[in-house]
Homo-oligomer: A and B are copies of this chain.
Amino acid sequence: MKHTKPAGSTETAHLLERRKRLLGKAYRLFYDHPVHIVRGEGVWLYDADGKRYLDVYNNVPHVGHCHPHVVEAVCKQAKVLNTHTRYLHENVLDYADKLTAKFPGGLDIAMFACTGTEANELALRLARAKTGANGMIVTDHAYHGTSWAISQITTCYGSSDRRGDNIVTVPAPDSFRGLYAGDDEAADKYAGHLHDAIDKLAQNGHRPAAFIVDTIFSNEGLPTVPPGYLAKAVEIVRAAGGLFVADEVQPGFGRLGRHFWGFESHAVVPDIATMGKPMGNGYPVSAVVTSAEIIEAYQKDSHYFNTFGGTPVACAAALAVLEVVEQQGLQANALETGDYLLDKLKKLKANKFIIGDVRGSGLFIGIDLVGGPDSREPATSETSRAVNLLKERGVLIGSTGRYDNVLKIRPPLVFTRQNADLLLEKLEGVLSEISGTL
């Protein structure tokens, strides 16, 4: 989704020129013709020309762009106090209380940072402190963040030779495409790779500290996971002394509809859970939830402090998000609207051979585009075309997956059935146009 030429308006061209000059060449924009967004409200984004876009992409504005309850909570607290966790303050405790109440017993402690990367950094340090081991097991097309250590376990970018020999990968489970698609024993077979990973670590002189997965496998293309896989995999890791870290940065906070956290959909309880993006509806806040036992091991050698983590304003934002999720019934809405959309998409699939698979949970849905009827060949360039065409037609959507051929539906949770109908209408039109070219 790189941009190849500036969009029409002089203003956009000017912004593109300034951006290249001031931010440099390492930044990327979405879309062949990038959008200049100036306003957001609920599920809607508006560009500088007043054009309205249905936002099917952004999960950070979890309860909707500029939700007044969250904005008010941030402003109210920002006017009064915003210090740090080395003074006593109620907000961080009130939020930790509400957050840990969302977890099974034993996961009682919350620690705060600013980004998902920082939360995963802390999880990694906790796991290493608890186990005394250094090995990390991660799926083979995962995204967990951008720091030096976390980019080593972000296996979707770059080559494996950048990684230390303490990091080993296992194939991400996938019931549609992959090693054991259609195999009745896929769960056992995928889980069996954890044995291989532990053996490989041992050959390199390491023991496993942790197995970490994004529990919706978003970057892997939101695959349907063979039932029982994750519980089996975690059992193998624990038997070898390792912990299980559930990266809930993307699936968490009710998006999946049936469950508040992704790990619940796999019937497995993590030792450490990390969360971020949607947590403050855009205010930078992230967290780790874990057990007193793990903290006990960590604090023998280390303290923890993060300047902007757990501040009164950050926690006011996060508290307001939880309140809106509860008061507006957004987890239930994710389930109902998600099921409605999934059902309609499955019907659309019957008429559109470019749709190879439709899958997901709640308001986190993937549409796997393929090269032809009954094909599983990834339609990567068509996916990029669909993303750009949908943008032209007023729908902001992204793509994901190993082959970047999965349209990713991940809107703010205030997404309605009417929004779903609009998406379906636009999607049908665009896929018809693209299918004609296949």
Q: Is A111 an interface residue (CB 8 A)?
A: yes
Number of interface residues of A (CB under 8 A): 92
**Contact status of A295 and B40, CB under 8 A, knowing A118-B147, A121-B148:** no
Known contacts A22-B96, A24-B292, A115-B115; is A149 also within 8 Å of B149 by CB?
Answer: yes
- Number of copies of this chain in the oligomer? 2
Complex CA–CA separation, A131 to B10 (angstroms): 38
A432, CB-defined interface residue at 8 Å: no
Contact mask A65-76 → B, CB, 8 Å, 1/0? 110100100110
Question: Which B residues are CB-close (under 8 A) to A23?
Answer: 85, 92-93, 96, 109-111, 310
Inter-subunit contact A34/B88 (CB<8 Å): yes
Closest to A126 in B: B26
A147 to chain B, nearest CB (A): 5
Known: A27-B305, A148-B125, A282-B311. A83 touches B114 (CB 8 A): no
* Distance, CA A22 to CA B292, complexed state (A): 9
Closest to A90 in B: B15
Chain B residues contacting A115 (CB-CB under 8 Å) are 113-115, 118, 306-308
Q: Which residues from chain B contact A80 at a C-beta distance below 8 Å?
A: 38-40, 66
Q: Which residues of A does B touch, CB under 8 Å?
A: 12, 15-16, 18-19, 21-30, 34-40, 45, 58, 60-61, 65-66, 68, 71, 74-75, 78-90, 92-93, 96-97, 100, 108-111, 113-118, 121, 124-125, 146-150, 157-158, 276-277, 282-284, 292, 295-296, 298-299, 301-308, 310-311, 313-314
Is the beta-carbon distance between B86 and A28 smaller than 8 angstroms?
Answer: yes
Q: Is A313 in contact with B282, judged by CB distance below 8 angstroms?
A: yes
Identify 16 residue pairs between A and B in the complex whose beta-carbon atoms are under 8 Å apart, listed by A's number. A22-B96, A22-B100, A22-B109, A26-B299, A26-B302, A26-B304, A39-B80, A40-B81, A40-B83, A45-B81, A61-B83, A78-B282, A114-B115, A115-B118, A121-B147, A282-B313
Contact of A305 among B146, B304, B314 (CB under 8 A): B146
Q: Are A147 and B148 in contact (CB under 8 A)?
A: yes
Give, as a whole number of angstroms, the nearest-CB distance from A155 to chain B. Answer: 15
Query: Given that A40-B82, A58-B83 are known contacts, is A93 also in contact with B18, CB under 8 Å in the complex?
Result: yes
Chain B residues whose CB sits within 8 angstroms of the CB of A81 once the complex forms: 37-40, 45, 65-66
Let me know if A277 and B148 touch, CB within 8 A: no
Selected from B89, B282, B305, the residue in CB contact (under 8 A) with A308 is B282
